Amino acid sequence: MALLKKIEASPLLARVLPFLIFVGLTSCQGLFGEGSRYWVYLLKTLIGAGMIWLVWPWIEEMKWNLSWEAIAVGVAVFAIWVGLDDLYPKIGTGGAPWNPHSQFGAGTASAWFFIGVRVLGSTLVVPPLEEVFYRSFLYRYLVKPDFLSIPLGYFHWTAFLVAAAIFGFAHSEWLPGISCALAYQGLVLRKKRLGDAMTAHAVTNFLLGLWVIWKGDWKFW
């Protein structure tokens, strides 16, 4: 209860702590054997959803918004992510791809269950957590530590580029990562709200999930 009160009282903690917990759980995937990659992903998805539900009343900008710009940006970022794949060196890659069919047996119920978990998690849980942290908190914090005093539509070159670089290099696919960060932040600046970037991020991740399932291109997971 004391922690909940601290989170409620701290705009910074409400936006940062759920993301850090999510990243911490991500780092645990595979630590306890190959199968733990999938079970920990399920756990972090459930915990992530719970954290979103918990902090939702305290984060005013965490609201989904549907617009044609959000859909267009989401589709464009998906195309960039797939289209650039063979054109640049990755960072931090290695090990077997995230492929439930190889872990649990091709076409088994367990394999399709974890594929569904991955699609739902990346579409509905990842976007709110990452957009609140990167596009709402980090971008504005780079402008001014009193980040809530900075409107979502305020443009600042240094924050725009640094936040995009941090987001990009948090992914092995750093080049499309930087590109999508610039696109999502641009949406926030244009629409003066976060919800369109959340939607664009969800569209990108959903399309990537469909691509992985359709093509068996597991490296994108």
Q: What is the pLDDT of residues 25-69, one digit of tens each?
A: 999 998 989 899 999 999 999 999 999 999 999 999 999 999 999
| pLDDT bracket for residue 177 (50, 70, 90) | very high
How is residue 159 written in tokens?
């924050």
Which residue has better confidence, 112 or 31?
112
Handedness of CA 13, 16, 19, 23 (dihedral sign): negative
Which residue has better confidence, 7 or 161?
161
- Does residue 19 contact residue 125 with C-beta atoms inside 8 Å? no
| pLDDT bracket for residue 96 (50, 70, 90) | confident
- Does residue 156 contact residue 149 with C-beta atoms inside 8 Å? no
- pLDDT of 95 reads 67
To the nearest 10 degrees (0 to 180), the angle between helices 36-55 and 109-120 is: 30
The chain-wide mean pLDDT, for the chain, equals 95
- pLDDT of 93 reads 66
User: What's the whole-number mean pLDDT along residues 186-213?
Assistant: 98
Ranges 27-41, 172-186, 202-216: which has the least confidence: 27-41
- pLDDT of 94 reads 59
User: What's the whole-number mean pLDDT along residues 166-172?
Assistant: 96
- pLDDT of 161 reads 98
User: What's the whole-number mean pLDDT along residues 140-150?
Assistant: 98
Evaluate if residue 100 carries a pLDDT over 70: yes
- pLDDT of 3 reads 76
Contacts of 158 (CB under 8 A, 6+ apart): 142
User: What's the whole-number mean pLDDT along residues 163-172?
Assistant: 96
User: What's the whole-number mean pLDDT along residues 105-119?
Assistant: 97
| pTM for this model (two decimals) | 0.96
Among candidate residues 63, 77, 76, the one with its CA nearest the CA of residue 152? 63
Handedness of CA 92, 94, 99, 104 (dihedral sign): negative
How is residue 2 written in tokens?
């004391």
How is residue 215 written in tokens?
């093509």
